[in-house]
Amino acid sequence: MIEMADVYKTYPNGVVALNGITTKIKQGEFVYVVGPSGAGKSTFIKMMYREEKPSKGSITVHGVNLSKLRNSRVPLFRRNLGVVFQDFKLLPTLTVFENVAFAMEVIEKHPAEIKKRVMQVLDLVGLKHKIRMLPDELSGGEQQRVSIARSIVNSPKVVIADEPTGNLDPETSWEIMNTLEEINKRGTTVIMATHNKDIVNNMKHRVIAIENGKIVRDEQRGEYGYEY
Ligand code: ADP
Ligand code: ADP
């Protein structure tokens, strides 16, 4: 499904962010990526949606070799994934409905199909009653739920999240986690980088720990393993 083979990443400034990563993630898995700040978690995640390219080694996502993927093919490739960010990245002038619909409009889906599917995913994240609101009229947790709805609207096989609860209070973080759990139960692979010890230790899933650009631990139903 997702496979990395001996992946290295050196940024142009000479920083080695990934230092020989080999791993496999199967369809339907839920994976936490943990480790200290600067360990390489974001870089690891960015590799999977081709935000960064490996300096050496190969990454295959759903049969697509990302080291060989042309830049012009990246948008097409990304349609098979959903990406969720710590800071939501919603379009401020569009309503909740429009923010989610946008991802379907760019691939020219029929308006009736868009309406049906957008309402379906907003129902899943519990925001059907807020479709006409603008992002800044919503709480942080609600904005993150909109961004999750947007990430899954085109039914991706994988959702990739970089610290999705990083800007949220504990209660709201749990709401977001329950939503991601629900998406995972429906068969979508979920991969998330996180610093949330409480979540990792209580909602058990595979844990990949990265330190200094290397995988130092990989356990099914693992622990967070750090103080912070
Ligand atoms: P983490 O997500 O675990 O905090 P990152 O993957 O963001 O780690 O960063 C790993 C290392 O790469 C850090 O030393 C960071 O400063 C460096 N780094 C990250 N992005 C860039 C970049 N675009 N250019 C140069 N160095 C970077
Ligand atoms: P609060 O965080 O405000 O106390 P919650 O009822 O959301 O409100 O959570 C209480 C505690 O229950 C959390 O700190 C967390 O440890 C745990 N918890 C909540 N939801 C889950 C869940 N889906 N799986 C495991 N533990 C959970």
pLDDT tens track for 128-173: 999 999 999 999 999 999 999 999 999 999 999 999 999 999 999 9
Domain assignment of residue 182, yes or no: yes
Choose among 98, 66, 99: nearest CA to 81.
66
Domain assignment of residue 56, yes or no: yes
Whole-complex ipTM: 0.76
Domain assignment of residue 21, yes or no: yes
Q: Which residue has the tokens 């309406």?
A: 115
Domain assignment of residue 227, yes or no: no
Domain assignment of residue 131, yes or no: no
pLDDT tier, 228 (very low <50, low <70, confident <90, very high otherwise) = confident
Q: Which two tokens stand for residue 224?
A: 């967070």
Percent of the chain at pLDDT > 90 equals 96
Atom 6 (ligand 1) nearest CA: 40
- The pair phi, psi for residue 192, each rounded to 5°, is -135, 130
> Residue 187's domain spans which residues?
2-89+157-219
Choose among 192, 198, 193, 191: nearest CA to 223.
198
Question: For residues 75 and 69, what is the distance between their CA atoms, to the nearest angstrom?
Answer: 11
In this prediction the pTM is 0.88
Helices and strands per DSSP (H, E), number in the chain: 7, 10
Atom 15 (ligand 1) nearest CA: 38
Long-range CB pairs of 70-79, under 8 A, 24+ apart, other chains included: 74/50, 77/50, 78/49, 78/50, 79/107, 79/154, 79/156
Q: Is any ligand 1 atom within 6 A of the Cβ of residue 86?
A: no
Q: Is any ligand 2 atom within 6 A of the Cβ of residue 169?
A: no
pLDDT tens track for 16-50: 999 999 999 999 999 999 999 999 999 999 999 99
CATH code at 31? 3.40.50.300
Q: Which atom of ligand 1 is nearest to the CA of 44?
A: 6
Which mutation among 7, 8, 10, 11 tests ligand 1's pocket best, with the greatest number of atoms within 8 A of CB?
Answer: 11
Choose among 20, 9, 46: nearest CA to 191.
46
Domain assignment of residue 139, yes or no: no
- Structurally, the chain folds into a number of domains equal to 1
Neighbours of 60 (CB within 10 A): 16
Domain assignment of residue 171, yes or no: yes
Q: Are 46 and 85 in contact (CB under 8 A)?
A: no
